[in-house]
Structure 1
Amino acid sequence: MTATATAKRSVLSKRSLAADAMSLEKLIREGPPNGDVEGALESARLKILDQGIRADSDGMSSLRIYVWLILLNAPMLDTDSYLALIHRGASPAYSKIRNDTFRTLSTDPLFRRRVSEASLIRLLNAFAWTLHDAREEERARDRDTASITSSSRYSLDQSSSRPGTGYGGSDYGSPASSPAAKRARARTLTTEGSVASVGAAETGTYVQGMNVLAAPFLYAARSEAEAYVAFHQLLTKELPGYIRGAMDGVHKGLALVDKVLAIVDPKLAMYLLSKNLTAEIYAFPSVLTLCACTPPLPEVLRLWDFLFAYGPHLNILCIVAQLVMIRTKIMDSPSPNKLLRSFPSLQADQIKRTTLAIIKMIPDDVYAEIVAHAR
């Protein structure tokens, strides 16, 4: 039995029969029966997969944001803490944020009717302050580490200048060449390397595309504070690689789109490569925004229900699923780049069905890469 099959069986064994008998609404309202949190979560995931979250034609649901917060394991955040971030004024990333917010889902009347640009600016600016503070704390720790390292090196240099105490005046027994000193030098070199690597992979305060990722949260939430904590949890816990350094997680995800497509549909993958079309060219927005860049918004929300239930990493397979769904059009097109310039309208249910079929075709080692790519 494969690891994937074993995992599926273990998930089924963790389900709560009592939770299975409850509606999703009742389960969220009353909490896990008998305190069985793990079993209730598995039951909730299956309910989302089988039935979805009840919503109107505009995608509005009084339940959705609370399901998302639970699935993302988001902490409680009181409104005053959010307001404190707002009241700090413009963050260092404010101008970059303002350059993006007016374009966010600009052609979507549902989003424009419900979410103001001011709300989007406040949320992104608050998040930028949070990342700024975390970065400053990290730099302060690095400075402290560097100071300790410098003091340690000075002590070692002073020790190594002393006369040797071994036979014939050699420095075999000197403090600088003792096992303890060697370990100290090794620690010094390791620490210096760590500081350098942290600096190179430093988290920014704003990355283009965050505005589109924030949009569905603001649309679904009943308050900005709810949207903020869900958005913060997604980016810092689920997708930190997407906002760190040169967005390494996004580029890993793009490489995985190519790899998965080659496994699932080698002929389609080869055709796209023959046209010099790699995922870096056509799938960057879809990877970066968890497909939120593709309308309509109610379908984005339904797709996100699935992604948050089973892991945002599945977005990689959802993108491949969309390619498979329009396979004939791509293969018949002499210039598929024009077709892929903007993906066809999202069809969440069909994407989910196709994704579930694709999962069965993915080797365990590749699936492990998909799970880890955004970390």
Structure 2
Amino acid sequence: MSTSPMKESIPTLANATPIALEIPPSPRTHRALRRLQSAHTLGQSSNQPSLITQQHKQALQRNLSPASNPPSTSRHTRGRSNSDATNMTPPNLGSAGRRPLLRKKSNVADQLSLVQLVRDGPPDGDLIGALDSARLKILSQGIKSDTDGMSSLRIYVWLILLNAPVLETDSYLALIHRGASPAYSKIRNDTFRTLATDPLFRRRVSEASLIRLLNAVAWKLHDAKEERAENLAKSAGKINTANMQGSPELQSTTPALKSRARALTLTTEGSDAGGSEPGTYVQGMNVLAAPFLYAARSEAEAFVAFHRFITNECPGYVRGAMDGVHKGLALVDKVLAIVDPKLSLYLIGKGMTAELYAFPSVLTLCACTPPLPQVLRLWDFLFAYGAHLNILCIVAQLVILRNSILSSPSPTKILRSFPPLQSETIIQVTLTIIKKIPDDVYAEIVSHAK
């Protein structure tokens, strides 16, 4: 999302239980050890323990395990054996390319609970510090909820993280009272099968409320497109008026150029090419809206959070061509090839690309995979650190299934429907593999849904 933290500031859980991913160790792990040993030898003449010595001890304590603390791979340059010692500088937690384990700077908001931060607002007006602290609390402690995933706090945390505007209930009711939107028939074709096998969702959220929410969003998006079309028409009218009055620039052009400019204007008026507005409704929006209705305490809250999410976080997912979803699927293949080349080659050899098995998971941010309480916990993490991380969460699920996939002659059966979500495990694996993603690929992940 636009206000989500940078890659370098996403922490690793210090107390997380290491997960055996059974991924072959990278050759960079051994090169890192050799560099540290070489630098340690060069620094032994000093009376004071060198930075290399301290880093060596820290590396030995962590054992440089690829599962618990993988080496940074953002810069793919081959180091030199001895001269690396002069390049070993103290970690700068604020510099680009560094991945701190935990934020060291003391923060007043750290002393408050997540409930207090939401209720009382940022202490001393420190909004950045309060958001930073809230994200870390969500990652390390989670949002307290019951066994059904219900929490009185969650929807307000989501609204804050999404930077959703304040909306009066009357504004939502006004959209409902307008009746059926142009997308109403498409909405009715999808709502009855939304999470149809999830008893928690069916018990708490009615189909009528889902229809009202999606229909109101469709009206809102329809109005936005109408407003954009009017603005384009006004701009075209001003240009035509200037032409009739005879601007010196256009008077000097040839009739052919004038005709071409007019044709281009007429084509642009009725086109959404290059626009950032999503369509009024595409299949899959019903599943995306479901967790918002389940977590919210009113339809109006769910409406403003969902509308903000699809227009600001993933407009590319709900445009007619779903270009953002297809970019995300290509990134799943690319990231898997980086994280686990053997698994990637095996799936490609079986003709299994992400387009065949990951489309629902990309489009719905894994909301298509039960159970719903685990979806809500995963969304807490995604909204805190960026919904684009869903791409890595999907790769994390493939890594968790690695042994089963490699030992299966037909992985299609395994990937036809993903196993039940285990949000904590997925988050831990995601935090592990994120350190292996090159910065240019990570930039593609951040922007793919826009």
In structure 1, the residue matched to 2:144 is 54
Q: Distance in 1 between matches of 2:318 and 2:9?
A: 33
Q: Compute the displacement of 1:153 (Å).
A: 5.2
> Does residue 327 of structure 1 match 2:402?
yes
Q: Distance in 2 between matches of 1:36 and 1:27?
A: 11
Provide closer, same or farther for how the CA distance between residues 14 and 210 of structure 1 changes in structure 2, counting only shifts above 3 A: farther
In structure 2, the residue matched to 1:341 is 416
Is the contact between residue 229 and residue 269 of structure 2 (CA under 8 Å) also seen in structure 1? no
Equivalent residue in structure 1 for 2:185, among 95, 114, 124: 95
Equivalent residues in 2 for 1:1-375, closer than 5 Å = 4-5=7-8, 9-10=93-94, 17-152=107-242, 175-176=251-252, 195=269, 198-199=272-273, 203-375=278-450
Is the contact between residue 108 and residue 123 of structure 2 (CA under 8 Å) also seen in structure 1? yes
Provide closer, same or farther for how the CA distance between residues 33 and 186 of structure 1 changes in structure 2, counting only shifts above 3 A: farther
Q: Distance in 2 between matches of 1:204 and 1:4?
A: 30
Q: Compute the displacement of 1:142 (Å).
A: 2.2
Structure 2: segments with no counterpart, 5+ residues: 1-5, 12-92, 95-99
Provide closer, same or farther for how the CA distance between residues 75 and 184 of structure 1 changes in structure 2, counting only shifts above 3 A: farther
Q: Distance in 2 between matches of 1:273 and 1:24?
A: 44
* TM-score using structure 2 length: 0.74
Q: Distance in 1 between matches of 2:214 and 2:312?
A: 17
Q: Distance in 1 between matches of 2:300 and 2:9?
A: 39
Q: Compute the displacement of 1:313 (Å).
A: 0.3
Q: Compute the displacement of 1:145 (Å).
A: 2.9
- Please, which moves more after superposition, 202-211 or 360-369? 202-211
Deviations 1:186-245 (A, max 9, x none): 987886675576357663210100000110010000000000000011100111111123
Is the contact between residue 330 and residue 339 of structure 1 (CA under 8 Å) also seen in structure 2? yes
Is the partner of 2:252 in helix, strand or coil? helix
Is the contact between residue 16 and residue 39 of structure 1 (CA under 8 Å) also seen in structure 2? no
Deviations 1:81-121 (A, max 9, x none): 00000110110101100100000000000001100000000
Q: Compute the displacement of 1:156 (Å).
A: 6.3
Aligned residues with identical type, % of pairs: 68
Larger RCO (alpha carbons 8 Å, 6+ apart): 2
Q: Compute the displacement of 1:266 (Å).
A: 0.7
Q: Distance in 1 between matches of 2:249 and 2:149?
A: 70
* TM-score using structure 1 length: 0.88
Is the partner of 1:339 in helix, strand or coil? helix
Q: Distance in 1 between matches of 2:249 and 2:327?
A: 47
Provide closer, same or farther for how the CA distance between residues 64 and 197 of structure 1 changes in structure 2, counting only shifts above 3 A: same
Q: Distance in 1 between matches of 2:207 and 2:141?
A: 33
Considering only aligned residues, what root-mean-square deviation do their CA atoms show, in Å?
2.8
Provide closer, same or farther for how the CA distance between residues 13 and 264 of structure 1 changes in structure 2, counting only shifts above 3 A: closer
Greater helix fraction, Structure 1 or Structure 2: 1
- Please, which moves more after superposition, 50-59 or 193-202? 193-202
Structure 1: segments with no counterpart, 5+ residues: 161-174
Provide closer, same or farther for how the CA distance between residues 110 and 187 of structure 1 changes in structure 2, counting only shifts above 3 A: same
Q: Distance in 2 between matches of 1:14 and 1:131?
A: 43
Q: Distance in 2 between matches of 1:15 and 1:65?
A: 28
Question: Which amino acid in structure 1 is aligned with residue 401 of structure 2?
Answer: I
Is the contact between residue 72 and residue 230 of structure 1 (CA under 8 Å) also seen in structure 2? yes
Q: Distance in 1 between matches of 2:117 and 2:214?
A: 32
Is the contact between residue 149 and residue 188 of structure 1 (CA under 8 Å) also seen in structure 2? no
Question: Which amino acid in structure 1 is aligned with residue 160 of structure 2?
Answer: I
- Aligned residue pairs total 357
Q: Distance in 2 between matches of 1:159 and 1:268?
A: 61
In structure 2, the residue matched to 1:169 is none
Is the contact between residue 16 and residue 43 of structure 1 (CA under 8 Å) also seen in structure 2? no
Is the partner of 2:272 in helix, strand or coil? helix
Deviations 1:254-312 (A, max 9, x none): 11001100100111111111111111111000000000000000000000000000000
Q: Distance in 2 between matches of 1:143 and 1:203?
A: 20
Is the contact between residue 282 and residue 320 of structure 2 (CA under 8 Å) also seen in structure 1? no
Q: Compute the displacement of 1:335 (Å).
A: 1.1
